[in-house]
Structure 1
Amino acid sequence: MLFADVVQASAAVAATRSRLAKVDVLAAALQAAAAPEPGTRSSAAGKAADATRTAIRSVTGFLTGFPVQGRIGTGWRTLVRLERPPAAAPSLTVAEVDAALTALAGTSGSGSQARRETLLSELLGRATAVEQDFLMRLLTGELRQGALEGVMLDAIARACSAEGERVRRAFMLSGSLPDTAAAALLDGVEALDAFGLEIGRPLRPMLASPAASLAEAIDELGATRVEYKLDGARVQVHRDGDDVHIYTRTLREITESVPELVALVRALPCESVVLDGETLALNDDGRPRPFQETMSRFGAASAHELLLRPYFFDCLHLNGTDLLDAPLSERVEALRRVAATHLIPGVAEPTAEQAATLLTSALADGHEGVMVKALASPYAAGRRGRAWQKVKPVHTLDLVVLGAEWGHGRRTGMLSNLHLGARDPDGGAPVMVGKTFKGLTDELLAWQTTTFPEYEQRRTKAAVFLRPELVVEIALDGAQVSPRYPGGVALRFARVVRYRPDKEAAQADTIDAVRALLPGGRPDQ
């Protein structure tokens, strides 16, 4: 398969706002990648199948902006310096590009910079102008379309004639779009059912929807468990014997950075377990320390004085038994058996007075509010449904930073006023919904001014515009109809709460979530 076909498909996806049209284009590209090369002999069938699997995985990664090799570590300036005259006609194949990226990712040590530049120069020299542009954006992260994830899942389902929910579940358990696509298109729809919970392979966390109020959430869900919503960082814990792995919300492994959590999990009375929860650093009075201090522990693997305390709220596996499809009531009982002293504060089937008291207590302890969860609900990995609802006294949204304007007065020389975007659920570019400079401390202003140029796409005299990668939590009083922004909606009294290094742009709130805050609106995700 020619690499030019992938580039053309990407351009077609970017050129349409229709979700159905995007799905059609992506499904056709996947089917083309899955088609056997003409003239393949039966004696070479095994190698051909491996090549086809690689092609499907590569095409899936290219079209979602995430090469299967991960971050290659190549900057825009390096690529510009290596710019070569474009090829007159397309000749690069998907396999050749994949092989080049694999070689780049594996190049390290003495003399690696020169070898990497040689590999990049050769690759760019064989690419046409449009292919060069695609490669440069892919390698620098500017093609990262994590928001395209849902559309790609629909495309995989279309390409192999499978039920969408079947594909989605396989992806949530595998954690890999390329692997899910390859299994579906090469091994058959039945292969999707082979994906299950595997200890040591993180699965995407179940997510919550905003609730209009505590009373409405309880009324909607019926029999519920109400528990603290902590101001901490999400963690997923896997243990098999003495082998322990700990992952963040984005499935990044942080095991070496949190030895105290590893020791705690290793001491639990079980042989194997998978737990979902939050961890945070606490002051001597039991109140949470700033979120950024907790997140700082997820960095280098060295000794730290700031200890983290875990609070678990779900058990997905215990001693050989998977519990994903069990009701929450059963999963909490399993959690109580194995980690009762680390169970998050909560009450099952509370009265209205008990639920209100718990919310008051959570806020008084310095946390965000409470979660209301249906006791009959299974664990819907990776999904944001209505079975879990969050109740907070102030509306907050996780939005993408699109740019920042240079400040005035005492903020002269500092990047200040933020341009904020909501995620397009159909895979388009983030939709701008407002600006704010409120809530920015001197420390944050200094951090923005130093950090934002690392994400720079372009700049004007007044502002620096960024690749849509940084996520910031914004508090707001609501939303209002506005013709000023392309989404037709604007934030009301927005102010910065904190940056969210634990989230990627693909996990930011959507434009639909913003519109749901309009007067008379209803959160739908």
Structure 2
Amino acid sequence: MLFADVVDASAVVSATRSRLEKVDALAAVLRTAGEAEIRPVTGYLTGAPVQGRIGTGWRTLVQLERHPAESPTLTVADVDSGLAELAATSGAGSQARRAALLTALMIRATAAEQDFLLRLLTGELRQGALEGVMLDAVARASGARAEQVRRAFMLSGSLPDTAATALLVGPSALGEFGLELGRPLQPMLASPADSLDAALEELGPGLRLEYKLDGARIQVHRNGDDVHVYTRTLREITTGVPELVALVHGLPCRSVVLDGETLALNDSGRPRPFQETMSRFGATTERELLLHPYFFDCLHLDGVDLLDAPLSERAEALRRVVGEHVIPGIVAPSGEQAAEFLRISLASGHEGVMVKKLDAPYAAGRRGRSWQKVKPVHTLDLVVLAAEWGHGRRSGLLSNLHLGARDPDGGPPVMVGKTFKGLTDQLLAWQTSTFPEYESRRTDWTVYLRPELVVEIALDGVQVSPRYPGGVALRFARVVRYRPDKTAADADTIETVRKMLPGQATIT
């Protein structure tokens, strides 16, 4: 298959707002791909080469000599082997070798192919939302049910592997993917609730309330003496959190998979700022600041997978294995008890509460309604699209942020507002030094970024506005913090933003 066929399909996906047309274009390419091409093609079209990060920076790529070829001759196999060689290049002289390999690849590519490769290698194609469209395309191309494909992906952690299995072996083989100790799976996600009363009414009497901690999501796997700890984005941090590893080693079990949160506490037992907890996640060695885990789900225990078991059964297994490290919670509360539990959570320095249905299975990778989060302050996780240079006291600093919500159909983030409020001197300095690493282009007044950084924004509400492409604008938006534990794929969608409109006004 010519690489140009992949580039053309990507262009079709970018040019249409129709999810059906996106799925059709991707499915057509998958059907045409050869056996050895399905995995790399799937990776290219979702912005994630199967080789992982190639290790080549933006500045190196833009400085390459790139005289484009007049007609397409590159094949998918050519690009795959070229990227594999790049990923394997290290040691003395590797920088020059990388530049030579990239130049050799680029001069064989047409202008359109060069542009695609540049965006692929710098992460600009990694929108995250494209995964959902690609999963539907795999189902369409293979004849599998969409739910079969989604479950296999969430358990395998690899979209290329899922696609290859569905297309080459058949839909029935997707059922062979299961929870594997030491291989992280996508976490179950919660939807925001309008209020505590609304969540209680929707989920009914059979529910559990838990503290919503201001911590970092962790997933822990143990198989005998082998322990692994992963972040929300499935990045392994085992070597940097030895206190968590030691705790899991001491649990009364042979094998276990746990879902939970961890955070740093001060001397009085209250949570430290989120940034202090996250500082441990960037470390490769132990730090003085200790992390305290609070587990809220058990997905496997001593040879038994519990993903499809109801929460009530998983919670019982959790209590048996982690004891005092279960997150604080109450079962089947009255309205008054739930309100008091929320008050205590907030008074203890936490964000609010989680409301969960006791009969719900663990829906890996899904943001369903069986888990709902209740927070007194409206917040959204949005993608930073650009930043404007400041004025006055902020002259020389990147300040006013352009904010985007995720397009659930795989398009680029949809701009919904700007803000410079809530930015401390420390954050302004960080933005000014860090944003150029994510720069895609700039003008005299604005630095535009690849859509990778996620920021948590507090707001008073949303209003209809023709100013932005999504038809909505944020009201009194201010920066709470950056979320290094999240990717653009975890950002809130434009649909979530629109649901915050008063009376959910119609947007035309």
TM bin, normalised by shorter chain, reads over 0.9
How far 1:487 sits from its partner (Å)? Answer: 0.5
- 1:262 aligns to what? 245
- Paired AA for residue 332 in structure 1: A
**What stretches of structure 2 of length at least 5 have no aligned partner?**
none
| Residue identity in the other structure for 2:173 | A
2:495 corresponds to which letter in structure 1? Answer: D
Q: Is 2:94 the partner of 1:112?
A: yes
CA contact (8 A) 2:127 2:489 kept: yes
The SS at the match of 1:79 is helix
**1:448 counterpart = 2:423:** no
Once the two structures are superposed, the pairs formed by residues 36-51 of structure 1 within 5 Å of their partners are none
Q: Per-residue displacement from partner, 1:159-191 (whole Å, max 9, x unpaired)?
A: 011111111111111111101100000110011
Distance in 2 separating the partners of 1:115 and 1:409: 46
Matching of residue 478 in structure 1 with residue 461 in structure 2: yes
Q: TM-score, normalised by structure 2?
A: 0.98
Partner of residue 407, structure 1: 390
Mean alpha-carbon deviation: is it higher for 78-87 or for 492-501? 78-87
Paired position in structure 1 for 2:10: 10
Task: Indicate the SS of the match to 1:149.
Answer: helix
For residues 230 and 382 of structure 1, what CA distance do their matches in structure 2 show?
A: 20
In structure 2, the partner of 1:352 is: 335
TM-superposition CA deviations, 1:213-258 (whole Å, max 9, x none)? 1122112112100000000000000000010000000000000010
In structure 1, give the amino acid aligned to 2:367.
R
Please, which of 287, 291, 306 is the counterpart of residue 304 of structure 1?
287
Q: Distance in 2 between matches of 1:289 and 1:159?
A: 49
- Distance of 1:403 and 1:285 partners within structure 2: 40
State how far apart, in whole Å, the 2-side matches of 1:302 and 1:507 are.
27
Q: Distance in 2 between matches of 1:344 and 1:240?
A: 23
What one-letter code is carried by the residue in structure 2 that aligns with 1:311?
Y
How many residue pairs get aligned? The number is: 504
Query: What letter matches 1:214 in structure 2?
Result: L
Listed as ranges, the matches of 1:168-179 within 5 Å are 168-179=150-161
SS at match of 1:487: coil
Candidates 434, 441, 447, aligned match of 1:464 = 447
Q: 1:164 aligns with which of 143, 146, 149?
A: 146
The answer for the alignment partner of 1:66 in structure 2 is 48
Q: Distance in 1 between matches of 2:335 and 2:125?
A: 48
Contact 2:127 2:451 in 1 (8 A): no
For 2:504, what is the secondary structure of its paired residue? coil
Q: 2:480 aligns with which of 497, 520, 524?
A: 497
Where 2:67 maps in the other structure, the secondary structure is coil
- 1:63-92 deviations in Å (ceiling 9; x for gaps): 011101111121232123222321222111
- Counterpart among 319, 326, 332 of residue 343 in structure 1: 326
Contact in 1 for aligned 2:453/2:484 (Cα 8 Å): yes
Hey, what does 1:38 align to over in structure 2?
none
Task: State the partner residue of 1:101.
Answer: 83
What residue number does 1:293 align with?
A: 276
What is the Cα deviation at residue 460 of structure 1?
A: 1.5
Aligned to 1:278, what secondary structure does the other structure show?
A: strand
The code of the aligned residue for 2:465 comes to S
Q: Secondary structure in 1 aligned to 2:266?
A: coil
Instruction: Provide, for residues 407-428 of structure 1, a one-character-per-residue CA deviation record: whole Å limited to 9, x for no partner.
Output: 1121111111110000011111
Q: CA deviation at 1:208?
A: 0.4
**Percent sequence identity over aligned pairs:** 78
The 5-angstrom pairing of residues 128-277 of structure 1 reads 128-222=110-204, 223-277=206-260
Name the SS for the 2:309 alignment partner.
coil
Q: What is the CA-CA distance between 1:133 and the residue it aligns to?
A: 1.1
What's the TM-score, normalizing by structure 1?
A: 0.95
- 1:145 maps to a residue whose letter is Q
State how far apart, in whole Å, the 1-side matches of 2:314 and 2:452 are: 35
DSSP 3-state at the match of 1:389: strand
Deviation, 1:521, is: 2.8
Residues of 1 paired with 2:260 and 2:2: CA distance?
45
How large is the Cα RMSD of the aligned pairs? 1.0
Measured in 2, the distance between the counterparts of 1:142 and 1:410 equals: 32
How far the C-alpha of 1:301 sits from its partner, in A, is: 1.7
2:18 partner letter? S
Deviation of the 1:96 alpha carbon = 1.2
Distance in 2, matches of 1:175 and 1:293, equals 29
Task: Extract unaligned runs of 5+ from structure 1.
Answer: 35-51
Mapped to 1, the partners of 2:336 and 2:279 lie a distance apart of 38
User: In the TM superposition, what is the alpha-carbon distance from 1:124 to its structure 2 partner?
Assistant: 0.8
The whole-number CA distance in structure 1 between the counterparts of 2:63 and 2:493 is 37
Residue aligning to 1:40: none
SS of structure 2 residue aligned to 1:335: helix
For 2:491 and 2:187, the matched residues in 1 are separated by 14
| Residue in structure 2 matched with residue 48 of structure 1 by the alignment | none
| Bigger shift: residues 110-119 or 261-270 | 110-119
The one of 505, 511, 514 aligned to 2:497 = 514
Q: Distance in 1 between matches of 2:420 and 2:107?
A: 44
User: Which piece of structure 1 moves more, 407-416 or 419-428?
Assistant: 407-416
1:343-388 superposed Cα distances (whole Å, 9 cap, x missing partner): 0000011111211111001101111000000000000000000000
